[in-house]
Amino acid sequence: MRFCLAVLLLWTPVGGAAVTGKVTWADGAAQKRLRSKIKYAGPGVSGPTKPDPSPAVVWLEGAAAVKMEPRTIEVKQEGMEFRPRILAVPMGSTVKFPNGDDVFHNVFSYSKAERFDLGKYPKGESKSVTFEHKGLIDVRCEVHDHMRSFIHVFDHPYYAIAAEDGGYTIPDVPPGKYTLVAWKEYFDPVRVEIEVKADGAKVDLTLSRLLDGPPDTAVGAACCDAR
């Protein structure tokens, strides 16, 4: 028995265990609002082929900051939409915004965590933004009101973009008590107090309340408590 315990301890991953679960949401007003904002594929518009291109994002609120390798990622302007629509990156990452459409776009954000205006540029050109502050960036196009993208910037690695069915995994979480947050476009974020043990935690979350207010400030309090 003592031997088994010793082996188990030896095999415990150094970084911790996974927090897994599923985010579910009602197909109500929030989803209707999302659908009204998205151009679906049709004549002249190569819109999203998935019924819901806006996945949920899950993270541990208030986790200690961890120095991470910045990434360089593309958010294309294509088919009159930002693709991908939802992004999560480590702080310090650079996002390129190439224009793949036959029209001018003008990418901008007035979000507290990063304010920028890339100006109008045509097909084939690209500009980029480096995100130096944690928070949620609500990205829009000045020319096309319906275009929207959300970039979550984290100063720790404990976050995940959920799969299409809402399933998520945040790997290597050190044991301890945390606040788990689930976010999805147009929904009020949900927070749950959780305890992660040596074998991880399994937590399901349900989003039901419609967001009432600007998304970046509503989530800003959740993901960026220092600001």
The residues binding Cu ion (CB under 5 A) are 105, 141, 143-144, 147
Instruction: Give the DSSP H/E element, type plus range, for residue 220.
Output: helix 215-223
Residue nearest to Cu ion (CB): 141
Instruction: Give the DSSP H/E element, type plus range, for residue 8.
Output: helix 2-11
Here the tokens at position 42 are 């049709």
Q: How far is the CB of 147 from Cu ion (least distance, A)?
A: 5
Q: How far is the CB of 109 from Cu ion (least distance, A)?
A: 13
Q: Give the residue among 21, 4, 12 at the shortest CA–CA distance from 182.
A: 21
- DSSP state, 45? B
Cα radius of gyration rounded to whole Å, the chain: 19
Say how far apart CA 21 and CA 139 lie, in whole Å. Answer: 28
Report CA torsion sign: 183, 146, 112, 119.
Answer: positive
Q: Which is nearer to Cu ion, 66 or 103 (CB)?
A: 103
Q: Which is nearer to Cu ion, 120 or 133 (CB)?
A: 120
Q: Which is nearer to Cu ion, 23 or 107 (CB)?
A: 107
Q: How far is the CB of 83 from Cu ion (least distance, A)?
A: 12
Q: Which is nearer to Cu ion, 13 or 119 (CB)?
A: 119
Q: How far is the CB of 151 from Cu ion (least distance, A)?
A: 16
